[in-house]
Structure 1
Amino acid sequence: MTEQKKPASFSVLPKIINGGIAGIIGVTCVFPMDLVKTRLQNQQILPNGEKMYSSIIDCFRKTIAQDGFFGMYRGSAVNILLVTPEKAIKLAANDYFRYHLSTPQGKLPLHMAGIAGGLAGLFQIVVTTPMELLKIQMQDAGRIASADRAAGREVHKLTALSVAKQLVKENGIFGLYKGVKATGVRDVLFSVIYFPMMATINDAGPRKTDNSGEAVFYWSLLAGLSAGMTSAFLCTPFDVIKTRLQAIKKIEGEKEFEGFFDCVSKTMKYEGPTAFFKGGLCRIMVIAPMFGIAQMVYFTGMGERILGMERKKTV
């Protein structure tokens, strides 16, 4: 990073707008692959050795055959609704903490960059946990419905609102935070890896000519893709655990989990270590482009333009 003076102030509002817009665009582009990831991660090998999906392509094919193309967007409404504050918090919080943890000269040591990213990941779970809990129920509903039909059981229509009401009725507002510990471990670790790596790659690229000091759009896309791919792969085991803990309804014969360590123990015992990387390729194919697109959009400075503010390079 070239030596420069730290900006005199940090404006949060345009960063929140940038993060919200970036999140909506990124999630919309990759949601079908995210649905496949969820179904593959929740799928367990049944006592008779059967499993519903044999591969990514098989899951795509069966989902479209059963629910049509728009079935690939089950749960997208709640995700798009809540991803606005989720990405706004994550991206804006990272910039905020990077600004306040940097030196007066605008330098940010690697360990401080990791702390800034980790704090951003910690802050976001307030929104991420209920968002993903509801999203997972909707995404996995088709898999459950297929098993129910095959067994001759009645299939009940599921909505995000009905799930939310039931969880709140049974456990209060904390019912929406099922799996919060696993979500926190995944998101903090992901952010500790992702943000310093993304910033390092982004700072090494060619800059725009508008005096903003930002990298050109394609380099921001590449930085987000590279950092997202690496972080997604390394955090996949925690994502598998989180997804399984948040899946409220199981197919008959699938294991129930009482908590983080119970999930780890049973998954290892009955499915082996490779189960912790189920949906790993899907996760990379979701996270890498989503964060690449989101990072690129975030750095376009839409928030500053909407508010009529001058763009300043952050740390």
Structure 2
Amino acid sequence: MSQQQISLPAKLINGGLAGIVGVTCVFPIDLAKTRLQNQRQGQQVYKSMMDCLVKTVRSEGYFGMYRGAAVNLTLVTPEKAIKLAANDFFRHHLSKDGKGLTVFKEMLAGCGAGMCQVVITTPMEMLKIQLQDAGRLAAQQRKPGILAPTKLNPTNAVLSRSYTVVPSSPGTVSATQIAKDLLLKEGIRGLYKGLGATLMRDVPFSIVYFPLFANLNSLGKPSPEGAAPFYWSFVAGCAAGSTAAVVVNPCDVVKTRLQSLNKGANEETYSGVIDCVSKILRKEGPSAFLKGAGCRALVIAPLFGIAQVMYFVGVGEFILGLLQDPQSCVEISPQ
């Protein structure tokens, strides 16, 4: 397998299309995950994932489940493209003479991929979370027994360093508005709030996911030189993705809390990762770090299963007219 056979543009197309298809399929579950993770004790609006989805449809309509999807669909292409292509790039250069990679090198390649993707992931998650959580805060204000914040932002903006307020109608919040406020008040740093927590989540995720997928996928190969069937790659991607998602869920909870600019009544703010972890432990207990774990597993499993199928099918190579021979298609997880 020569280096000349690797087509980076084809890999970027494959990763981008995989991300778009996957996000479209699982975004409502991701919205439920964000809202469940942001709930505090005594202020629960939703009892479970299904309860969250049902209440969202009732109060915000069907498209309310896709609030924030535009941000994801716009940025998921470069995010997934960077993640998948970077892992493949590192694996290729860590391999020697076509020999299989050791587990350590597989983890090293995954680490590199996770570090590369946060350039896009952090601002994407920052904007997405504000839009996803707006409905929860509006519902919390309507819930009997929970007082709405009394200090209003005169500009009705969604950003304030010390206090934030969500408009009464979550539909009035836009990603463009949030991004402009962040850039004007905090510069580019504002879009990268929670970068440390994002690294804490995405690097371990990639370290767990990519080696686990490579080894699971290899079990479905008819021969060491052959390729696994697409359905096996889908199953391997689902299994590896859900496992990695649950492992890093505590980091995802911290990241979600740090990136939530809007706060409901009596919801505390956090100065950093350590402050966030200590406050969650003290006020909500260790179980709070597992909030949304089931939703996250349900999101990541099909997302990466679809991603691997799209990658192995080689849509990018077809589009670019590079797919001359099935043997020339470089897998994302070469052995």
The equivalent residue for 2:2 is 7
The equivalent residue for 2:85 is 92
Give how far 1:149 is off: 4.0
> Which residue of 194, 197, 212 maps to 1:179?
194
Give how far 1:61 is off: 1.4
- Superposed CA deviations along residues 46-97 of structure 1, whole A, max 9, x for unmatched, are xxx3411111121111111101111100000010100000000000110011
Give how far 1:148 is off: 3.2
Letter in 1 for 2:329: K
**Unpaired runs of 5+ in structure 1?**
1-5
The equivalent residue for 1:241 is 254
Partner Cα separation in structure 1 for residue 35 and residue 214 of structure 2: 32
Residues 90-239 of structure 1: pairs in structure 2 closer than 5 A: 90-150=83-143, 151=147, 155=168, 157-206=172-221, 213-239=226-252
Partner Cα separation in structure 2 for residue 39 and residue 7 of structure 1: 47
Partner Cα separation in structure 2 for residue 56 and residue 129 of structure 1: 24
CA 1:152/1:129 → structure 2, altered by over 3 Å: closer, same or farther?
Answer: closer
Q: Check the 8 A contact 1:7/1:312 in 2, yes or no.
A: no
Q: Check the 8 A contact 2:43/2:140 in 1, yes or no.
A: no
Give how far 1:255 is off: 1.3
Letter in 1 for 2:209: Y
- Superposed CA deviations along residues 126-179 of structure 1, whole A, max 9, x for unmatched, are 000000000000000101122334557761520000000000111111110000
Letter in 1 for 2:54: R
Superposed CA RMSD in Å reads: 1.6
**Unpaired runs of 5+ in structure 2?**
150-166
Give how far 1:207 is off: 5.3
Q: Post-superposition, which runs of at least 4 consecutive aligned residues in structure 1 deviate over 6 A?
A: none
The equivalent residue for 1:32 is 28
Q: Tell me the number of residue pairs that the alignment of Structure 1 and Structure 2 aligns.
A: 304
Q: Check the 8 A contact 1:18/1:303 in 2, yes or no.
A: yes
Question: Secondary structure of the residue that 2:294 maps to in structure 1?
Answer: helix
Partner Cα separation in structure 1 for residue 304 and residue 248 of structure 2: 15
Question: Secondary structure of the residue that 2:140 maps to in structure 1?
Answer: helix
- Superposed CA deviations along residues 225-279 of structure 1, whole A, max 9, x for unmatched, are 1100110110000000000000001111111111000000000000000000001
Partner Cα separation in structure 1 for residue 222 and residue 269 of structure 2: 51
Partner Cα separation in structure 2 for residue 214 and residue 303 of structure 1: 18
Letter in 1 for 2:27: F
* 2:320 is the alignment partner of 1:307: yes
Partner Cα separation in structure 2 for residue 83 and residue 101 of structure 1: 27
- Superposed CA deviations along residues 105-136 of structure 1, whole A, max 9, x for unmatched, are 33211100100011000000000000000000
Q: Check the 8 A contact 2:258/2:270 in 1, yes or no.
A: yes
Residues 285-296 of structure 1: pairs in structure 2 closer than 5 A: 285-296=298-309
Letter in 1 for 2:61: G
Partner Cα separation in structure 2 for residue 38 and residue 152 of structure 1: 20
Question: Secondary structure of the residue that 1:283 maps to in structure 2?
Answer: helix
